[in-house]
Structure 1
Amino acid sequence: MLYVEFQINTPSKFEDFKKLYHYMVNSRKLNYDRNLIVKRAESEPLEYINKGLEPYEQEVRRYLSIIPRYAHEFLTKYIQFNHDYSDLESIYVEELELYINELEPVSNLLNYLEIGFEVNMDELIKVGDSKGVVRFSTGNFPYGGLDRFLITLKAFDLIPIECFNGFTIFQFDWISMYDYETVNLPEKTKKYLSTFDVNKKTNIFTNILNYIRKNYFKVFS
């Protein structure tokens, strides 16, 4: 199982992230189908949905339902750090008193969180008072990549410190607000992967015992 371990700097923002996490879980229950996700949002009595809005405006409203203002501002700076979107038109969101850039920035990130990050969100847990872990699984590689998910965590002041990406465990060394270097942890990776081998053998043994109980003892009962 893949995971990202992170430092919780602001507990209230971790609570906000839970809302995004559950949104991602529910999106995946709809089999990554954008049309089904839109229909589900339209059918729910959520204040960010207005059936009279244009499709892109509905995207903005879905985005705003899961991304708080502080996280949006962080993500906007990240997008501007990597791309030049200064010439894009904007949509003014009156209740937040801010402009949302049209086209790529919101649409691409929302698409990634809803369907582009091709993983099943398996578990989100808090470890002690200051750490958390989000676990996920996938049969697809590279499953949309981890970078945007890591930056999304940072937008909620959840600082990634360690990750298993399906091949190796590595720790993060953040060298700037948006850039990081990684340090591979081969011994920890080996130990972590060995637990899956043990579990696999245990499951096989358990299945054999269950088969014997169901079939062998049935004959003599």
Structure 2
Amino acid sequence: MQQIKDKVAYITGGSKGIGFGIAQVLIDHGLKVAISGRKLADLQQAKEKLGSDNVFVIQSDVSNFDDEVNAVKEIVATFGKIDVVIANAGVGKFAPVDEMSLDDWNAMIGTNLTGVFHTLKATVDQLKENKGYYISIASLAGTNFFPKGAGYNASKFGVVGFTQAAMLDLRSHDVKCTTIMPGSVTSHFAEHTPSEADAWKIQPSDIGEMIVNLLQMNANVLPSKIEVRPTKTS
């Protein structure tokens, strides 16, 4: 089992939902965690909720490569390195393809897909240096298409393909890459407000525990693509 205490993780979209849940679990397991997002107020609120000295917040829009480069510089200046990168930031806009706006299409591709590339591009030297782990949070929408999902499906199909190809490119550098494809998760995604009615769904902490398991696996083992669903439906 790999030791993970004191490793440094960078989580994009970490102020709420899945990213925040992952941060909570990683901190509980002794990691130092940097979380980024577009809204500084949300990040500061998340830091207060996490209640740990091992949390660093940085404002960054993953669709802007310069933001991610700056985020990496600040994280390394604060914690000294980056061992684990979790590309989680994402947006969802749903409409029939003939009604979808250019702005909504560009927002999804820019954040969900190009943002995933920007995050890896900005962190890859750290990952190589530290024999690190890159994890993208995709979706079952990356393999299952549905009505009104053309833009979201395109972005998440892209994330799955991107991460799998990156895995082949980087494993010779002792860098692991995995994409996690959750089904229904309790989160603030698409402006949803979590409630007791979401109890049947995957919880953000469940994804965090899954990531801990990945990080602790033998160095010779690589689950490169993981589909995860709620045990039951609502």
TM-score by length of 2: 0.25
Larger strand fraction of residues: 1
Higher normalized contact order (CA 8 Å, seq sep 6+, divided by chain length): 1
Q: Which is higher, the Rg of structure 1 or of structure 2?
A: 1
